[in-house]
Structure 1
Amino acid sequence: MMNLSEKQNLHFDVSTGLKRVLGRELITDDEVAIFELVKNSFDAGADSVQLYFGDEAIVIADNGSGMSYEDLTGKWLFVAYSSKRSDRPADDFRNIAAERRHYAGSKGIGRFSSDRLGEEVVIQSRPRGETNTVHRLTVDWELFEKDAKEHFEKVPVRYVKQGSFELPAELDEFKSTLKHGTVVTIQRLRLPWSRQRILDLKASLAKLINPFGEEIDGFGIYITAPAEEAEDKRLIDSRTKEGEGVLPKDLVNGQIGNFIFSTLQDKTTFIRVTIDGDELHTVLTDRGEVIYRIAEPNPYQYLSTAGFRCEIYYLNQSAKVTFARRVGLPSVQFGSVFLFRNNFRVYPIGEDGDDWFGFSRRKQQGYARFLGAREVIGRVDVSGSDDDFQEVSSRNQGLIETPAVVQLQKAVMDHCLKRLEKYVVPVSWVDKPDGLTDDLSRLMTDPGRARVTAAVANLVDNEKVQLIEYSKRLIDLINERSSDFETSLVSLRSIAEKTDDKGMLARLDAAERRFDDLKRSEADARRVADQALEAAAAANRRADTAEAEVETEQRRAHFLESFVSVDSATILNLHHQVTIYAVDIAQQIENFLTETAGEVSIPRDTVLKTLEQMAFLNRKVMSVTKFAAKAKFKLDSEKIETDLAAFIYDYIEQIARTTGSARLQIAAENTHPGMKLRFNPIDAAIVIDNLVSNARKAKASRINFILTQENKSGLTIHVSDNGRGLAPGTNGSRIFEMGYTTTMGSGLGLYHVRQALGEMGGSIELDDEIKKGLGLVIKIAAKGRKV
């Protein structure tokens, strides 16, 4: 009997049951099991991993640093030992791998993932520096199942030396280049790998390493499945005959990759946030245009050396269509914002239904104000040790919560998603047709540019934020005639002061003076015109009722009566409106002469902008005189509220056709059910008149206007003519810019069209479907801008 005072040391005894706990019961998914093996290849410094699916075996082969006999016996066969931990010796075989990489795994349990896939695993490995020897281990996992009381270390693992790697014949080309590396062959498979299972795995692996189209450390994964080659070829042949390409997701064999994001970058809005030490950097890009680039102090101390990088893309309707066409499935099924630790995917973050970042919970609190997981897609990268970023042991439950992980989630929410949201919501969401557009056409209007300017001004209204760069195309002075001009001045001044842009501040001061002068002169003109209109109307009333007592009064009455026989009110309104526009033109001339007094030479841009203002006002005069006699509303009102589609159709039929040239046939078709909108009728007239004028200059004999309702809202107008079309060398994306022309024209017509449409909440773009002549598409939102 043992004396109670006696002491002795006890120790754990490990049974063979540990294999099942660390294998099939811990790694519960076949895809995750393969991920673990691929991670091992990555950590070994491989640049190529071959996945082979045969009828009776799976092979994972890489050209990494490989393992020596000592590595196999002292480390690989040492249960739960991880040579990736920070305390590994300097000569460890993992250190031979590429120095730039962080390790994807670190628990030392990935070796048991093969048990999930098959009953037997064969390891072949040759380290760098050895030439004629391949070390081979064979592990029969079923031997561990026979007796749960058997000691783990008592189960035999067979080892032999061989002269070279043994690989399936289909991998001979890879084998010929394989000087060092590791080959894992899994035999006696637990489940067959059908075509669909391999395709599902391929889709997951694409998201595992490379969903953004960027090569990660030169790491490529290739699939070879001989049984599926015939079906791959059949698909390629059938799609080729139909004139279509095969989506990568539909083919089993070949390199795994997903390059959809390189396509999306030019078609949607995305934000990129990086942390470098004490600084946090943000770049927001909208359809290829850098909107802003800022820097600010980094508030996340745990992320200062973690290589934090986040890219989030806003998927408007156009981007979702592009995504589905290129990838072959809706973006929501692909996933949302993925998290990558040490360049490898952390599951299940970003999967459909997962809300690790909290996007969906927040979306429910403000559906019309917040971006949710279904509207964004992206990637967050972070690197670091297990102390900061450690995966849950089951490998499919994300990261264990640590102070660094809490800051990671906050950084993604506050500095990535919310920053993107503060641009998308006020700039794009208020203009629904912008969501159907994959270019900047709707933002190049004055209202669009004003929205962008306001969004950036709100962002930089913070003393800690340094504005490094911003879009000069979108954030600049808008036209003084725009209803958004005054509010835009405030935003621009904020940005100019932030960047200490003295040139911009001087331009703003000058623009403000011009605007004030125009407002004063217009107010004076309007007062005089109103007085004249009232006097004429009073005289007209007297002429109708009073008897002619003196000859001069008779002459005045006769004069007025001659107008009344046409339409007195219409003529007087015509005079009223033309008076206002004429005074505006005079004020533009006076402003230009004042600003350029004493100048020997004047920049072309300065002259062009002044002439553009006068040309636009002159077009207004021309439009007024053209249809004033037939209009059923008073032109002394700047805006009317009526059915826009019907108005445009009536204007084409009753004004444009009757005042046009006999050489140009003008046709219109209106199937729109009606869209009530408050707008300036002169703007609508300018749009039609300019398009007709352009068709005439292009020697067209016919121009068609087709007004329809598309997408159950808004007005779409397809315009086409059979003229000469765009001149060779014309940049189609620039034809709506002020002064751009490849002919002897002014380059103002289409610019005026876009500006007038912008005031109505509309846009214009080229119609690529029209091959002969010129085709244009006009889109006007159902709910007009508030006026």
Structure 2
Amino acid sequence: METFSNNLKEQQPLKLKIDANVVRQLGEELISDPEQAILELVKNSYDADSDWCVVNIDTTYQEEISGVTYKGRITIEDDGVGMTQQQISKGWLTISYSEKQKLKKEYKLTKKHHRSYQGDKGLGRLSSMKLGSVLRLNTSTDKDIPSLFVQLNWDEFRPGTTLDNIPVQLSQNEARNRGTKLEIIGLTDLDKWKSTESKRELQTKLSSLISPFKIDENFNVFLNIDKNDIDLSKLTEDVLKIAVVQFNFEYKNGILCCLGKVKLPYYLGTKTQSESRYNKFIKSDNGQEFYNFLNEVSNLKEYKLKKLNNQKETDWFMEFSQEYNWQDITAYKTPYESPGNFVAEWNYIFLGNKAFRILSNESGLEDINIELVKTLTGIGVYKGQFRVGKSEDDWLGLAKDKTSGEGFYSLRPENTIGYFSFPAYEGESLKEKSDRQGFVENEAYNGFMSIAKKMIAFSNQFLNRSRRASITFTENKNLLENNRPETFNAEDAILEIKNLTSNAKSKKEKVYQSSKETVVVIENAKKSIDSALNDLFLDDKAREVIQILKNQVNLVNEKYLAFNSEYDGFLNTLVSHEISADKIIYRLEQFEKQIDDFYDFTAIGLAAQNLAHEINPQLDDITLNANEIKKSLQSLNIQNINIYSQINTIIRTTQVIAKDVTLINPMLRSRREKMDDLNILSVAQNYIELREERFKSEEIKFILLDEQLSINIKFNKGKFTQIIDNLVRNSEYWLNHFYKINNNDQKKIFIQYTPTGFILWDTGPGIREGMDQVLFEMFTTDKVNGQGLGLFITNKILNQRGCNIRLLNELNSRNRKYKFEIDMTGAISDGN
């Protein structure tokens, strides 16, 4: 035993070693593709405070190193601060060590351009492994001192070789200008870099990875492939010239400012008739009359519109803007927090249609490659000059919105090019994933997505509403041009056709009689002519003239008979359309009835949705309490089989109810047609009592005022309860949302009774400016996943009984309208 111990002491101390293959695996996992690898190396140039960075790819290059011939070279060179030997040894050659990580935590910026550092994981140099075999570094911190030269070979990072056995060459070279030159020799997959398609793919990928939007004017990246210079920003600049709509956003200190610009060709339809009306009614005066019309469209009043000085179709026609406070932006997911300041720009481009051809031709870009444009589509997120994640994925969910109620003209991912940009350290709470392919889903990410959803809503609502308004405008102008009033609708058109067919029926007999008389006149004329020709004393000249007259009369007769036949057929067809007109009138009446039914069925659907949402927590409580009772009985050693059986029955029943809730059909329509005698105070009190536990858990208090003024009405109880439910749920939502931001405020809902109905308000944020103009329109909402139907349906249900709802002009402490007045005059009982 003693001998064994002495032998241990004589041996070298144990050391932990790392196999070189681990480094190779690390590089493979963290760098997704060659383009991303180049991007990581360009980031190093950016962090080095350089003015420029040149990426040179030479597929024809060959060099022999240690007896091996390597083909192809990538050079990345900059004029940055360079590196000292200590920085190379401690930083660049130490895997995962990053001095930048410390600088970022201390919110330090680069000295010259005041940039935030992009790299922070100490893994950027592994990017070169993805590109080729031999890595060379030539760097200088001052043009008057020798530069440093480093070389290593990634091929030597093989399994079975430890890191301390990997040779790294270090030497001094002649002095050079300050900066760094990185060479990767012996390119991996050389053929990829040679093909024309791959070169174009590299251009477009780098154009999106290295921001093509000129976010940082002090950093220019140049790309050269096989002696061909490629401008990474030129392609994007050309594409943006053919955008029909542009959106600019700035989120700063809790305020989201949204500004959009639109060109006239956005309102150019795809049909020939639409194009004709666009040219005649919109383009002819550069959109001036159309702009005046838009200012009167009710659901556009939440936007601030401004006419621009457009002289041609490539000019911007109009601006539209809106502002939102952080308190107005509802959560995409919770918990959420403000992600920091950022700016964004989105460009909407029509590909291949008439608007695209107009804008590309007038911009001198008629030869632009549509397929190349498609490769740039998507919205990227940039921190500084560099993109995070992949923009080609529809990570914003733009495709979903076009299937929503208002979404036919919405942004589409394949037609949108744009970016989000976080400057300096504003977005530091947004954490990048280690593979650089997106963000960690934390509170800041949820806040960022909440703001992004609000930006999408701002954009899509304007696109849909203004596009539909353009159709209404051109239709109205066309009606006026054809002597029809703007109020001329489908019913008027059908009645016009009905009258036309009825008149045709009455005139058919008159035409028939006139036709018979005309035939008789012509026949008499022919007889007179024949009689004259038979006159023996007629000279040859007169006979010739009369013969010509006879021929002309015969020709008139033939044409008349042909015309009369066609006209008679036309009248018969027109008369037969009287049945068609009656059928259309009948269907229109059915449609009107179905629209009324739609409001009822939608209301039923909302009620079912609310009930399903509300009942599940109650069923969970029942199941939980039943199980607690079982545990209590067991702890007391009570073995009554009947009690256990009844408890199990309760649990099974709640499970069945929970399952049936998904198929529930509340408040049959026949019940909703019945009129009930109601007292509005009693209905409200009953509603609150039934939901007392929920409101108590949410700390929401109800305050009823002037109860003695409560009136009796004749109204369907289910519908009136739903009116209250829609209003209360709206208040409940905004109180809970607002409380998360201002948790020192109390959550209260007030109902004040009046001689004609009641007024309801709450202590929430109130209605933001602009929204108060369109509050009762269909599909209008500020909620992230809201349907925009609650207040719309409430208004329709009230209107059916001659009642109404309006937003009073009184302002709350936040200078916003906040009180809803419900006027039940049309439903007041005679007994009041």
> Normalised by the size of structure 2, how large is the TM-score?
0.43
Higher helix share: 2
Q: Which has the higher contact order (CA 8 A, sep 6+)?
A: 2
